[in-house]
Amino acid sequence: MPVIALTIADQIVNVNQVGQIGPVGPTGTVSAAGDGTAGAPGISFAADLDTGFFRPGNNLLGLSTGGVERVRVDASGNVGVGTSSPASGTKLDVVGALKVGNGVASPSGQMLINSTSGTGATLQLFQDGVESWTISNPASSTRLAFSASGSERLTILTGGNVGIGTATPATKLHLAQASDAAAQGLQLTRSNGTDFMRLYMSAGVGSLSDTLVFNSSFGGDVAAIGRNGGAYFAGNVGVGTVSPANKLVVSGGANGFEFVPGGTGSNSIMQVFDRVAGSYGGCTLDSSAFTLRIAGAGNGLHVNASSNVGIGTSSPDVFGRGYSGRILGVSSSGQSAIELNSATGNGAYLDMGVNGVRYLSIYADSTSTSMTTTGAQTINIATTGASGLSFGTNNITRLTVESSGNITPNSDNAYNFGSGSLRWATIFAGTGTINTSDERYKVLREGGDLSDAEHRAWSAVRAIVYRDKDSFERKGDAARLHIGYSWQSIQAAFEAEGLDPARYGLWCEDVLEAPVEKTRTATRPVEGQTETIPVLDDEGQPVFEQVQETEEVEQPFEEVRMIDGAPVLVRGVRTVAQPVFDSVQIRDEDGELIFDTPQPAEDPETGELVEGDPIPRMAPVPRMISRAKTETVPVMEEYEQTYTEMEPTGETRGALRYSQCSVIEAAWLRRELASVTARVAALENA
């Protein structure tokens, strides 16, 4: 077997044809050399004894040149270049600069990847043998490219511009979308890891073109800015406030909100464009007045230069009274009304006063209404003509003050004046009450006279002198004395004769009532919430209305806009809703179609005048469509409502009709007088 003889550490060793190394021996086997050191390796070369391999320790291998250790392999197979202790878990640990590739470039940093001209320099990253990313300096360029799956994802130019989705970024950060989707844009995520906002470009949002769109994890596309400066916001916008309660809230600043008109030739400084009508005029503000109206609805709300307000009229002094102060005038071809509504259920107020002092308040809520003054003022409710003044409840008139001043109920013999629980203290009158006593309105008991039992019962009733208890508790002995009858004594006298006092109108027993606070389930509007519902007829069926059909059309426009502080004439096209008309031939009053006869025209061949064909006379007629009528109403909610109601207390209070007591007293006295007179006459005749 051929061998190569080497001298190692003054020993001759053989290297056989299979690469085995060892001292010369009879069997030709390989035996171990000495450990050696970096300066004197155990395995070296005869002509270079300080270059070779040595064993610095158990399961360690070192490689030295010039007596200095250059490479170390540890027991885990980790290799260190320029270090005798490669980092654990690092298969290659290089201390010093690392150069990869071709060329003569010298590294100035920790690692250098070099390529020859026209080939590019690339660093490949693999997972499980599959390339995931490459970082490269593409051939014949100076840019740095990050690619995945063979497609370039991010580019950095030498000037510092960064491109995502583009290899030629035009700005410091240039994002090129692969499609017009929110996921293709820029996303900022909160610290909670779920809420985010995205910024992306789309072809258009509504009438805006080439738009920059703001997309939210909650509301989708919430805002957009078009290429012409137009903007769209899905929610409320606040200027000077972070909590706008409405679509646009401007807060703070010395001048508030300012609108600068772009055109000239009109004193209107603000107008609203009606897309249905295709014209301006819904809202007009100029140097003399402010008008707000729905298209075709007349004057709407009008405020003139004197700060007078007209609703349905441009002349707030509707009745021509000539008031010198501020005026609110309401005029309508139908019913006119001023409505005050509290959407929170807290009640609605109408306050009136002078010099900032409130003198009169009219208040209403779901349980009560009131009219109050704040001082000693008198509330005057009066009519100026010959008509009366009426009061009612439950939409029924109960009481009328006639033009003559008489107060009358609106139903005969139907209402009480006070009750057993709520009594009037004193009634002052020039004369007494008048009770109906027409026999035609009475059903007489048989004979119509008082019975002996009734006379005997009344004879047992005695008059008493007393003080009213409430008055006595307030005034003591100073309370005045009253003369009358006892309710209990009349009851006892009648019952002693076998009579039921409750059968007689002179004796009354009233059930007492007291106010009791209760709760009930009621409904009220939810503040700031409305819903659109169909209008139904009396049978619960949807009501349809005829409206003019509209279609969207592209309409050129020209307007002056302020751009970078300078007026710029902008031309473009906007989409508007335009009313649709049909061309219909006109008929006369008899229903016959109308035609126009054209002027005779010369025949080019014969030169003669020839009558033309009749031309139908046409007129544009709105194209009407039927649609379900809707209305916007408040969203209602149920709540527990507190209210007061009179309820029986379980107690009663006795009362007497003194007019009837006086009648029975007089009847008894007349009977007694007749009896005495008869006895006296009998004695005189004896």
pTM of the model: 0.41
Q: How far apart are CA 559 and CA 569, in angstroms?
A: 6
Q: How far apart are CA 297 and CA 334, in angstroms?
A: 13
Q: How far apart are CA 294 and CA 317, in angstroms?
A: 22
Task: Print burial letters for 372-401: b (CB count within 10 Å at least 16), e (below 16).
Answer: eeeeeeeeeeeeeeeeeeeeeeeeeeeebb
CA 529-531-535 angle, to 5 degrees, is: 145
CB contact at 8 A, 520 and 547: no
In angstroms, what CA-CA distances link 74 with 44, 58, 65, 531?
20, 9, 18, 78
The total of other beta-carbon atoms located within 10 Å of residue 577's CB is 14
Q: Which of 508, 527, 514, 536 is nearest to 628 (CA)?
A: 536
Helix ranges (H only) for 228-318 are none
The total of other beta-carbon atoms located within 10 Å of residue 560's CB is 13
Q: Which of 290, 658, 674, 636 is nearest to 508 (CA)?
A: 658
The total of other beta-carbon atoms located within 10 Å of residue 312's CB is 19
Q: What are residue 404's DSSP bridge partners?
A: none
Q: What are residue 209's DSSP bridge partners?
A: 204
Q: What are residue 561's DSSP bridge partners?
A: 568
Query: Which pLDDT does position 651 carry in this prediction?
Result: 93
Q: How far apart are CA 467 and CA 484, in angstroms?
A: 10
The residues, any chain, with a CB within 8 Å of residue 576's CB and separated by 6 or more, are 275, 278, 552, 553, 555
The residues, any chain, with a CB within 8 Å of residue 229's CB and separated by 6 or more, are 561, 563
CB contact at 8 A, 309 and 303: yes
Q: HEC string of 402-441?
A: CCCCCEEECCCCCCCCCCCCCCCCCCCCCCCCCCCCCHHH
Q: Which of 398, 400, 432, 396 is nearest to 415 (CA)?
A: 398
Q: Which of 200, 661, 156, 628 is nearest to 457 (CA)?
A: 661
In angstroms, what CA-CA distances link 150 with 138, 145, 162, 475, 639?
13, 11, 19, 109, 65
Question: What SS3 state is found at 492?
Answer: helix
Torsion of CA 677, 682, 684, 685, to 10 degrees: 140
Query: Which pLDDT does position 500 carry in this prediction?
Result: 96
Task: Print burial letters for 266-296: b (CB count within 10 Å at least 16), e (below 16).
Answer: eebeebeebbeeeeeebbbbeeeeebebeee
Q: Which helix (H) or strand (E) holds 658?
A: helix 658-685
Task: Print burial letters for 318-340: b (CB count within 10 Å at least 16), e (below 16).
Answer: beeeeeeeebebebeeeeeeeee
Query: Which pLDDT does position 451 carry in this prediction?
Result: 94
**From the first residue on, what is the mean pLDDT of each consecutive set of 10 residues in the chain (686 residues)?**
49 53 47 78 88 90 91 90 84 74 59 66 74 77 81 86 86 85 82 81 76 78 81 78 70 52 49 56 62 61 74 71 66 66 64 73 72 72 76 85 84 83 82 85 89 95 93 93 95 96 94 91 85 90 89 79 84 82 88 81 70 82 88 88 89 93 94 91 88
The residues, any chain, with a CB within 8 Å of residue 468's CB and separated by 6 or more, are 479, 482
Q: How far apart are CA 580 and CA 676, in angstroms?
A: 106
CB contact at 8 A, 580 and 550: yes
At residue 375, φ and ψ (nearest 5 deg) are -140, -145
Size (the chain), residues: 686
The residues, any chain, with a CB within 8 Å of residue 86's CB and separated by 6 or more, are 72, 74, 78, 79, 80, 92, 93
CB contact at 8 A, 460 and 496: yes
Question: What SS3 state is found at 473?
Answer: helix
Interhelix angle 452-459/658-685, rounded to 10 degrees, is 100
Interhelix angle 487-496/452-459, rounded to 10 degrees, is 140
Q: Which of 77, 8, 15, 101 is nearest to 47 (CA)?
A: 8
Strand residue runs (E) in 228-326: 231-233, 237-239, 248-250, 268-274, 279-286, 289-292, 301-304, 309-311
- Could you identify the residue written with the tokens 């000693």? 376
